[in-house]
Structure 1
Amino acid sequence: MLSRRGVLVASAALMAASLAGCKIVQIADQEAAAPAGFDAQAYAEDLWSDQVLPHFSASARPVAEVIPAVHESLEAAGNAYGYRAAEGSPWAFIVSGTGQVIAKNTESRAGTLDIKVEGLPDSVALQIGPVIRGNAIRDALPFVSFQDFTNQLEYADAGKALTALALQAISPAAENIAVGDNVAFTGAVSLANAADRLQITLVELDKTSP
C-alpha cells in the first residue's frame, strides 16, 4: 500500500506527463494572434472629410442637367456624368441643386423631401431617413472598390457606414426644414436602369434664402 507521500509523487508525475505535450499560451498572446474584425465605422470616418466630401464637391453636376439626360439614355448619361465600378454595375451620379420644398414625407421611416427644381417638370426626392435606401454614396466613390475588401459583407458594411455618416451630417438641417423652405443640396443617386425610382442620398443639405 502506497504511503501518502507516494501517492502525491505519483500524482505529480501523471500531471507532468499529461502536460508534456501541451503548449502554454499567455492570454495576451492569444489576443494578439486573433484576427481583428473589419471596423466599417473607422474605415468610413477615415475617408469622410479628406476624400468623400472633396470628391462630392468636385464631381457634383447640376441635377437639372443630369435627370433629363438619364431619362433620355442612362448609358449616355452615365458616360457623360456618372461613374460605375464595372460593366453591368449601377451607374452612380453625384448631383447638386437648389429648389423649394413642396412636401416633407415622414410617415414612413424612409423619409423624403420633395423638391421643386427650376428646369425640371417633376419634383426631386431627397432621402432624409432615418432609413436610407441603397448604397449610392459608396457606389459614387471610385476610391472605394470591392477588390479592397475581404468579402461581400465587408463591402456592404462599408457602404452602410458611409451612408450613416451622410445621414448624420444632414439630419439636423432636415429636422428644421419645412414645406415652403428653399434648400441647397448635394448627393448621389445610383441607377441600374432608367426606370428605377430616382432618390438622392444626401451628403449636404442647407436651408437657403428665397
Structure 2
Amino acid sequence: MRKRWLAPVALALFLPALAGCKIVQIADQEAAAPAGFNATAYAEGLWIEQALPHFTETARPVAEVLPAIVGDLPSAGAEFGYRPGEGSPWSFVVTGTGVVAAKNTESRAGTMEVTVEGLPDPVVLQIGPVIRGNAVRDALPFVSFQDFTNQLEFADAGKALTAIALAATAPISEAIAVGDTVVFTGAISMANASDRLQVTPVVLEKTAP
C-alpha cells in the first residue's frame, strides 16, 4: 500500500518546482546555440579573391630570396619579406622553375627537391600529406590574429588555408616524377635562421616535356 501513495506525493512535490521552469524543446536549444567559428568557410571565402592573387602577384624569384635568407635573415626580411610585428616569423612569397631532383614520400611530411638555376642547393617543397607550420596563413597580411576571438580560431584558420593549398597541389605533386620540370609559387616562414628552409606551395605545375 505504501508504494501506491508515494508516487502521487512525489509528483505533488515536483510540480511546484517545475512550474517555475521554462521547458525548451531540443530543436529550440540547437537553434538558440551560437554558431562556432567555421574555419573552412572562412578560408574558402578569401582564397580565390584575395589569397591566391596575393601569392601570384607578390611572389619574388626564389633564386634571389633564398640566398638573401641564408646570408642574413633580418635583412632578407626587410627586403623581400613580411611580418605583422617584432618577434613574429618572417614570411616570404617565392616562385621558381626547376627540375625535380628527388621526391621523398616515405614520411607523411613528404617533400620534393627542385633544382633551380642559380642556387647551389635544391629548393625543398612540402608536398604532404602533412604540412608543417602555417606559412600559407602567415604570408597573408590581411589575415591578422586581431581578427579572431582567440588563438584556437587563428590556428584553425591556418590549418584551413593550408588544407586548401594542399588540395590544389597534391594531385599534381603525386603525378610528378624525378626529372620532371615544375613551376611553383609558395610561402616560406622563418622565425630563426636555423629553421628549415622549406616552401609550402600554393601553385604547382608540371611543364610539358
Query: Taking structure 2 as the reference length, what is the TM-score of the superposition?
Result: 0.91
1-structure distance, mates of 2:147, 2:32: 23
2-structure distance, mates of 1:84, 1:146: 12
2-structure distance, mates of 1:196, 1:105: 19
1-structure distance, mates of 2:94, 2:116: 12
2-structure distance, mates of 1:185, 1:11: 74
1-structure distance, mates of 2:146, 2:7: 61
Instruction: State the Cα distance separating 1:25 from its structure 2 match.
Output: 2.2
2-structure distance, mates of 1:69, 1:11: 80
Instruction: State the Cα distance separating 1:119 from its structure 2 match.
Output: 0.6
1:182 alignment partner in structure 2:
181
Question: What is the RMSD of the two structures over their aligned residues, measured on CA atoms?
Answer: 2.0
Determine whether 1:29 maps to 2:12: no
2-structure distance, mates of 1:9, 1:98: 83
Instruction: State the Cα distance separating 1:80 from its structure 2 match.
Output: 1.1
Unaligned runs of 5+ in 2: 1-5
Which letter maps to 1:192? A
2-structure distance, mates of 1:132, 1:112: 9
Instruction: State the Cα distance separating 1:177 from its structure 2 match.
Output: 0.5
Instruction: State the Cα distance separating 1:10 from its structure 2 match.
Output: 7.8
2-structure distance, mates of 1:196, 1:27: 51
Instruction: Pick the structure with greater CA Rg.
Output: 1
Which letter maps to 1:74? L
Deviation track 1:111-145 (CA, whole Å, cap 9, x = no partner) reads 11101000111110011111111100000001111
- Tell me, what secondary structure is at the counterpart of 2:23? coil
2-structure distance, mates of 1:76, 1:89: 15
Determine whether 1:58 maps to 2:57: yes
Which letter maps to 1:50? E
2-structure distance, mates of 1:22, 1:40: 37
Deviation track 1:135-162 (CA, whole Å, cap 9, x = no partner) reads 0000000111111111111111111111
Cα 1:193–1:14, aligned 2, differ >3 Å: closer, same or farther?
closer
Deviates more, 1:191-200 or 1:58-67: 191-200
- Tell me, what secondary structure is at the counterpart of 2:76? helix
- Tell me, what secondary structure is at the counterpart of 1:22? coil
Instruction: State the Cα distance separating 1:9 from its structure 2 match.
Output: 9.4
Deviation track 1:10-48 (CA, whole Å, cap 9, x = no partner) reads 887655422222122233332222121211111111111
1:38 alignment partner in structure 2:
37
1-structure distance, mates of 2:66, 2:208: 25
2-structure distance, mates of 1:10, 1:102: 84
Determine whether 1:103 maps to 2:117: no
Deviation track 1:98-119 (CA, whole Å, cap 9, x = no partner) reads 0000111111111111010001
2-structure distance, mates of 1:12, 1:129: 62
1:114 alignment partner in structure 2:
113
1:144 alignment partner in structure 2:
143
Q: % of aligned pairs identical? A: 70
Which letter maps to 1:147? Q
